[in-house]
Amino acid sequence: MNSDNVIAKVKDKVTTQDYTPTTQITGVEILELKEFVDDGGSFLELARLQTGLLQAKPDFTVRQINFSLVQPGGIKAFHLHYNQNECWFVPPAQRLLLGLYDVRQDSATAEVTMRLALGGHKARLVFIPAGVAHGVANLENTAGNLIYLADQNFSLEQPDEQRLPYDILGADFWQRRKE
């Protein structure tokens, strides 16, 4: 079939999806994990530490492990750290949308954005370097769990956490895309 065979009332609505690879933000890394599945469930080794070093990313020293519950429809965004690096994980049986925005002025990927579905039957960590604004949205109907590792301890007296408006990239950034 060719485009001449498409009925007139939909012909002007037909588009081609863009399959061009998205630009990767400099310093962001996706680290594949091994999940072992059997009849009774699954086992996933999230982090193997040796003197605080993350085996999947040996130059990352874990100082704090955090858990966040994201309610259905919840958006926790955007924030950034000037000094702290993080590794984010969502259990494979769940699904959360990670949003990234490179606000580092001297970065080769300054102003580049990324959207990644975390979980979604994939076992992986995402390394987020300092200076990359990040946030999460739960587009599902059930609560989602986010576990993240940080290379600094949080300080109430001198927090290394700065906020940006959740809609700095437009409110539609956090919407489910229909493609």
Of 80, 92, 75, 101, whose CA–CA distance to 159 is shortest?
Answer: 80
Q: Cβ distance 87 to 57 under 8 Å?
A: yes
Amino acid at 18: D
Q: Residue 12 has what pLDDT?
A: 74
Rounded average pLDDT per 10-residue block, the chain, 179 residues = 62 69 88 77 70 86 90 92 95 96 94 95 94 95 93 87 93 88
How far is CA 45 from its chain centroid? Answer: 19
What local confidence, expressed as pLDDT, does residue 14 receive? 59
What's the pLDDT at 153? 87
Residue 28's closest CA among 66, 68, 57? Answer: 57
Cβ-based neighbours of 1, under 8 Å, separated by 6 or more: none
Cβ atoms < 10 Å from Cβ of 113: 16
Domains of the chain: 26-169 (2.60.120.10)
User: What is the per-residue pLDDT for 1?
Assistant: 56
